[in-house]
Every structure is written in structure tokens, then in C-alpha cells.
Amino acid sequence: MPSTPQQPLKVIILGGGIAGLTTALSLTKYSPSQFPLPQITIYEIRPEPATIGGAVNLTPNALRLLNHLGALQEIRARNYGKECLAVEVFDLYTGARLAESSFRGPVGRGLGEPPFTALRITRGEALKGVLAAIEKHDNIKLVCGKKTVDIQEDINGVEIKFAGGGKVSADILVGCDGIHSVARLTHVEPERKSVYSGICNAFGFAKRRKTESGGFEETHFETTGMNFGRRGILLTSFHNEDKDSVYVGALMQVPEIASRDGWKAAGKDAENTRRDMLERYSPAALDLIPHLIADAEDLFLWPVFTLSAGGKWATDRVMLIGDSAHAMPPQGESTGIVFEDGVLFARCVGRWMEKNNGAPVKEAFNAYESLRRERIDIAYNESQNVVKTVQDVGWLGHKIKMNIIPWYLWWTRSYREKHFIEDVTTCELNY
């Protein structure tokens, strides 16, 4: 452990996804200036960082943190994503625009200070932007193709062993390796297994059709539309400035699924998946809906797994971050929550280093948990509403839902905006 400014903190991060990468950036940024930068090695099980996936909405708080970490600048320099001023809500069967969840702020420039709106971006491009930021830091190393099979810790540090041989040690380990976390399942809390939520996301990207005049087929949404049906929600969204492609994501109730393995290409079942989507989201009042489903390329099927509320997040030297600690159904700001995790954790570790009083690093872990547990519990409870909203209903149930949603969005607007303007880089740590 760093007892003097001459001893850098050695950190292992498991998981080379966006959670692990942003946590590495956070630990670097919030390391006390009187200490050398922490030496961070990220181990990713895949042969290279996975750049496949759907399109996520980076909310104002998520963009604010990426800006602090130097990653938003990389994303914008590459012109990734499409600004999203609001998520619009539509009734699939009437085409009526019922409400919106806005990121415009009081004067149309965004929320918070400085103001940010939102950015709809593919997971792959978001990851590429963060990787570009990582490359500017010599203290961070990404090693791919390494499968961790064992974790041991004692008063001197933590050690991991790899499949095929080899081992490395560090002062602390941060598990950012997702819902099927090796850090959790082999060390922190092996008995806490993931559970299938009963919800799947079938998604792909559709090139926009051209009209006879040569222009693109019109869309009913400005950037992102949530189209509510009786058997799920169909998300349709632009994800680039050219607006020549639409992300199509069907969040739907599927009681049983044959495979529970991570990202799963529909493969030979692609057309069955497409037929299921067409059946679920027809008859749509808008011709665009069946066109987008029919044109969506490379359909993927993503079963949504969750963890039970609460749970154990840490041992003396190992901390779980993001989905490895608190995976939940998607609830509109999941990515921002992961970024907040990494920043708050890094600030607590930085404060522990500043105190330099000989206390074990578990003191910093405890400070982080005391800050974070309540917010995660609230987000978890909110995510359960997503499960209920996606569940199949009859015509009457759908009509009731369509009347409740505008009222609910109006009622919760100030509550949502409060989270969007929060800045965990400046909040009081009480540590």
C-alpha cells in the first residue's frame, strides 16, 4: 500500500468494457497530486474490447462525467452519436405523440452547469471514444485475452490467476466485469447468482428507405421515439449525425429463452425473431414501424439478467463496480449510474490516500458504499417499473397505460432532472 508518495497504488481492473475503462480514467484523474499516478492494468477476457451492441442514451449527468474524464472530447472529435433533446413517447396503434422526457433544460441548452443535453450513441462508438482517452494515459494498460480463474487476497495485497497459467498481484482489485462477474462469483459473493428478468431486447440497425423524390422516408420522432404496444416497447432512434440509419430495439417479455449467454446473435433464428417483432408491434398506425423491423440488419438477442437488491459489494481489497454489483433492468440512465460509480469510488480512494493514516483501504470502500447504497436502491426500485411496463397486456390495459404515462412523466419531471444535474465530482464525500 502507498505509505509514501514514492509508492504508486497498484490496481487490477477486471473487465475492459465501458465500466472498467471509465473507472481507470477516474482513478487516474482523482489521484492526489502529491502521489505518483496509480499503476492500473485492465484485464479483458475477450481477445479485444467488444464494440458490438445497441444504442444507449447518454443523459446529461453521463455526458458531464465523460467530459470530466476527457472522453467526451474524443467522442465529439470523431462526430460520434446524435444529440437527443428529448425521448418522445408514442402510442403504437394510433401514432399519437403522448409525452416526452426532455433534456432541453429551462432555456433549451441543456441541464446543469455547464449545461448538457443527451447523446444517443452506439455502445461501440462510446467504447471507442473512451478507449481513445485511455490511450493518452501511460499509467493505464489494457491486456486482452486473459481469463481470470482465481482470486486470493491477504493483508499484503490481492493476487489473480489466469487460465493457462500466470498470475499477477496488486494492492486492490476492482471488478467491472458485468452481470456474470468473475470477481463476484469466484470471490466476493459466489452465492449471488444472476437471474433472468423475463425480458429480452431484440435489436438491430435499419438503413432508412428512400422515397421516390430521393429523400429519406419521414420519421415520426425527432431523435428517439419509444413506441408503446400491448406486447412491449419498440425503441426507434437515430444514432449518428447523418440520420441515415435507425436503431431498432424491441424490449419485450419472453418467459423462457434457450440461451443465457451474453450477447447472442439470433443467427438462423433471425427471421423468427423478425417475425415475432412484426407480430408484436403490428398493426402499427405508422408505416415506418414495419419497414424498420423488416430492414433491421444483423439482429441480436440480448436477455436481460439482473441481481437481487442489496448484496455484498466488497471484501478487504476487492470492490465491485457497475453491473457486477447491482445489475438491474434498463431504466433510462443505467450508463450514467456506472460512470457515477467509478468517479465516486475513485474520489474515496483518493481521499484515503490523502489521509495517509495507515488505515486499510477497506475504509475507502466503506466510505464509497455509504455514499452509493441509497442511490442504487432507488434506481433498482425504479427499474422494476420497466419490467411492469414491458409486460404483455390486453387492449384495456394498454389504454390505461397510455393515459398514465403522460401524467407519470409530468409528475416525475423535477425528480428526473434533479439526477440529471447532479455532479458527483463535487458532492460532499463526508469522509
- Residue 82 grid coordinates: 446524435
The number of helix segments (H) and strand segments (E) in the chain equals: 12, 19
- Residue 402 grid coordinates: 397510455
Q: How confident is the model at residue 105 (pLDDT cuts 50, 70, 90)?
A: very high
> In the prediction, which pLDDT does 299 show?
86
Cα 369 to Cα 348: distance, rounded to the nearest angstrom = 10
> In the prediction, which pLDDT does 302 show?
84
In single-letter form, the type of residue at position 41 comes to: T
CB 281 within 8 A of CB 233: no
For residue 5, pLDDT beyond 70: no
Q: How confident is the model at residue 68 (pLDDT cuts 50, 70, 90)?
A: very high
Q: Mean pLDDT across the chain, nearest whole number? A: 92
61-70, 218-227, 301-310, 319-328: segment of lowest average pLDDT: 301-310
Across 96-120, average pLDDT: 94
Distant-in-sequence, close-in-space partners of 392: CB < 8 Å, separation ≥ 6? 230, 231, 232, 253
> In the prediction, which pLDDT does 257 show?
65
57-71, 197-211, 277-291, 376-390: segment of lowest average pLDDT: 376-390
> In the prediction, which pLDDT does 331 show?
64
Q: How confident is the model at residue 287 (pLDDT cuts 50, 70, 90)?
A: confident
Q: How confident is the model at residue 265 (pLDDT cuts 50, 70, 90)?
A: very low
Across 6-32, average pLDDT: 95
Which residue did the predictor score with more confidence, 107 or 10? 10
For residue 159, pLDDT beyond 60: yes
CB 330 within 8 A of CB 383: yes
For residue 268, pLDDT beyond 60: no
Q: Give the residue among 283, 269, 219 at the shortest CA–CA distance from 248.
A: 219
For residue 4, pLDDT beyond 70: no
- Residue 127 grid coordinates: 467504447
For residue 256, pLDDT beyond 80: no
Q: How confident is the model at residue 389 (pLDDT cuts 50, 70, 90)?
A: confident
- DSSP code for 307: -
CB 49 within 8 A of CB 16: yes
Helix (H) or strand (E) holding 416: helix 413-421
- Residue 388 grid coordinates: 411492469
Cα 251 to Cα 331: distance, rounded to the nearest angstrom = 12
Q: How far is the CA of 328 from the CAs of 20, 44, 263, 314, in angstroms? A: 18, 22, 16, 18
For residue 1, pLDDT beyond 70: no
SS in 3 state form for 334-390? HHHHHHHHHHHHHHHHHHHHHHCCCCCCHHHHHHHHHHHHHHHHHHHHHHHHHHHHH
Helix (H) or strand (E) holding 174: strand 172-175
Which CATH fold topology does 10-47+145-194+308-388 show?
FAD/NAD(P)-binding domain (3.50.50)
For residue 211, pLDDT beyond 70: yes
Across 76-103, average pLDDT: 96
Length of the chain: 431
Q: How confident is the model at residue 263 (pLDDT cuts 50, 70, 90)?
A: very low
pLDDT tens across 294-328, in order?
A: 999 888 888 888 999 999 999 999 999 999 999 98
Cα 423 to Cα 62: distance, rounded to the nearest angstrom = 9
Domain ranges of the chain: 10-47+145-194+308-388, 83-120+197-305+393-425
Across 206-220, average pLDDT: 95
Q: CATH classification of 83-120+197-305+393-425, choosing from 2.60.40, 3.30.450, 3.30.9, 2.30.30?
A: 3.30.9
Peptide bond into 60 cis (omega under 30): no
In sequence order, what DSSP letters do the residues of 196-221 get, joined into one string?
EEEEEEEEEEEEPPB-TTSSBPP-SS
Cα 189 to Cα 81: distance, rounded to the nearest angstrom = 37
> In the prediction, which pLDDT does 258 show?
53
Across 233-260, average pLDDT: 88
